Amino acid sequence: MPEITGGQAVHDALVKLGVTHVFGIPSVHNLPTFDAILNGGKITPIITRHEQAAVHAADGYARASGKLGVALCSTGPGTTNTVTGIYEAAFASSRVLVLTGQTESTDYGKGRAAGHEAEKQLPMLQTVARSVGSPKYTKDLAPTVFRVAADIMNGRPQPGAIEMPIDIQYGTTSVPVGEPWPVEPVAPTLANINQAVAVIGAAKRRVIVAGGGVVSGGASAELLELAEKLRAPVFVSGNGRGAIADDHELAMGTIFNRRPTREAIADADVVIAVGTRLRGPIAAWDHLPGKLVHIDVDPQVHGLVAVPDVSIVADAKASLRGLIDAMNAEPGDNQFVAALRGVYDQQKAETRERIGPDMSSIMDHLRSSMDRDAVFVRDMTMPAYAWGNEWFPILAPHTTMNPNSGAIGPGLPLANGAAVASGKKTVAIHGDGGVMVHIGELSTAAQYQLPLVLVIFTDGGYGVLRGIQSGRFEGRNVGVNLATPNFATVARGMGVAGEQVKGIDEFKAAFDRAMAAEGPYVIDVDLRSLTPMQGFGKRIEFEQPA
């Protein structure tokens, strides 16, 4: 075999993994790999403006596609910038691989103050990534990529990271690149399936709770088939949205932990939890009703919140298929389902009343203007809390995302990555405070003419925090009133179409123009021109991340 450089070995390994896009920033410590990507012609590099944004974009790409998202960044300060993005990907159980440079292996660990030296870079990455690598020789680069990628893709998805000394990227090897490690689903045991079938079959009032593992595991069709076979209502976690379309009669949204729901399902016979840790907003239970059948590929989540009567440590798709094929149970109690539908519809109506006619109209206009499989992204902003994260109808898997970690600012780069993945109009909503964290990523959207519609709700700062401070500290505010630019002007300065609007009619007209336009588009909405939303600030104050 002819010799290839380390950069070429990394490129060839990524191609064999099916990677078609890499997000990142060129630097002196990753140029051989970037050059190999450019020269190879099979992977498109998407150049971001910040390493954190590169990882968020890779994350958005992974969530929207279900594939491996890859970020290529530099060592030292470049790698420290990636940590927040990896942290977010871990919260979201996202398939993200971060490749970073490293100083020359002959300098590594010797304290010579080499450029971008980061002797403790690897343990830093280990705090946020499940699997890390630090190959010492050029021949080890591709095998390390395959090893870490296999860990990312097997079981519960989690991010991984590899640091690559610059000299081994320039170095050459005649060792074949090899092949990716196999990614095999974890199959349930027949004994576990039979146990679950017995418990579920003996029940009449059944409830399903679906999490992100259903979406990432490609098990939405099986979930729907089981739910319809059992006539069981389906609740979802934040990550599980899209596992069942919100317009399906059995879909009950994210209201599993709400008091009216808890009262309505207090006499449930069994809860079937699949692909979920039962944490965050869906975990506010003293004890779950009835028996618990818990299906999740990660053994560590079993018994985390409640001790299951039947524990199936296996992939969602294989487990649901096993249950469907073995199940011969009568459909569930129609009155039970109808009662839950009434609770769901009532809470939806109360939410629409709370957010007011203008926000309700915006939500409806967005949904009616978007394809069923268009991606909807939210940053940590008041409209997201009030309606975007829970009540905006999600109609297909891989079409919804928001910062699981509670970080402010990832929305725009997440949306950029999602737009690259889908190639379709992607809609993101942001607040004026949060969007400034990664405002430079508008340039990325402009450079690649991404099909992005960015809606920025402007109220002069951090509206959520302003409301909390005003309510709890006798009206005193600190650090929440910000100098806010004209985002339409900022967008146009970066080569992105943009306009400012006031009121619902101006918004609808602007959004229609944005959806019809080529490339990215920014709509700066004066939040203060809309009917005020009521009564959600106190609720979100103590809300846990999804």
pTM score, two decimals? 0.95
Name the fold adopted by 342-540: Rossmann fold (3.40.50)
CATH assignment of 4-171, among 3.40.50.150, 3.20.20.70, 3.40.50.970, 2.60.40.1220: 3.40.50.970
Confidence band for 284, pLDDT divided at 50, 70 and 90: low
Bridge partner list, 46: 23
Q: Which residues of 163-189 are buried (b: 16+ CB within 10 A; e: fewer)?
A: bbbbbbbebebebebeebbeeebbebe
| 456-478: average pLDDT | 84
Q: Quick check: do 4-171 and 190-332 share a fold?
A: yes
pLDDT of the residue at 352: 96
Indicate left, alpha or beta for 102 from its phi (over 0: left) and psi (-120 to 50: alpha).
Answer: beta
pLDDT, tens digit, 9 for 90 and up, residues 6-18: 999 999 999 999 9
What separation in angstroms does the CA of 542 have from each of 284, 348, 477, 538? 12, 21, 19, 8
| 335-360: average pLDDT | 95
Evaluate whether the domain defined by 190-332 bears CATH number 3.40.50.300: no
Sequence ranges of the domains in the chain: 4-171, 190-332, 342-540
pLDDT of the residue at 115: 67
Please state the φ and ψ torsions of residue 76, each to the nearest 5 degrees.
60, -120
Distance, CA of 125 to CA of 55 (rounded, Å): 13
| 405-425: average pLDDT | 96
Instruction: For residue 118, give both structure tokens.
Output: 């980061």
Average pLDDT, the chain: 93
Distance, CA of 215 to CA of 367 (rounded, Å): 21
Q: In the chain, what percentage of residues exceed pLDDT 90?
A: 84
pLDDT of the residue at 285: 66
Confidence band for 288, pLDDT divided at 50, 70 and 90: confident
| 226-255: average pLDDT | 97
Least confident of 208-212, 282-286, 487-491: 282-286
| 76-83: average pLDDT | 96
Indicate left, alpha or beta for 109 from its phi (over 0: left) and psi (-120 to 50: alpha).
Answer: left
pLDDT of the residue at 72: 98
Q: Tokens 């300098």 — which residue? A: 107
Are 447 and 371 within 8 A, CB to CB?
no
pLDDT, tens digit, 9 for 90 and up, residues 19-61: 999 999 999 999 999 999 999 999 999 999 999 999 999 999 9
pLDDT of the residue at 297: 97
Distance, CA of 169 to CA of 441 (rounded, Å): 28
CA–CA–CA angle 313, 317, 320 (5° rounding): 80
- Name the strands in the sheet holding 310-312, side by side, starting at the edge strand that comes first in the sequence: 234-236, 206-210, 270-274, 291-295, 310-312
Is the confidence at residue 464, as pLDDT, over 80? no
Which SS3 state, helix, strand or coil, does residue 316 take? helix
Q: Tokens 């009616």 — which residue? A: 368
Please state the φ and ψ torsions of residue 23, each to the nearest 5 degrees.
-105, 140
pLDDT, tens digit, 9 for 90 and up, residues 352-367: 999 999 999 999 999 9
Distance, CA of 377 to CA of 456 (rounded, Å): 12
Q: Tokens 């700066």 — which residue? A: 524
| 153-179: average pLDDT | 97
Closest CA to 260 of 333, 203, 345: 345
pLDDT of the residue at 472: 85
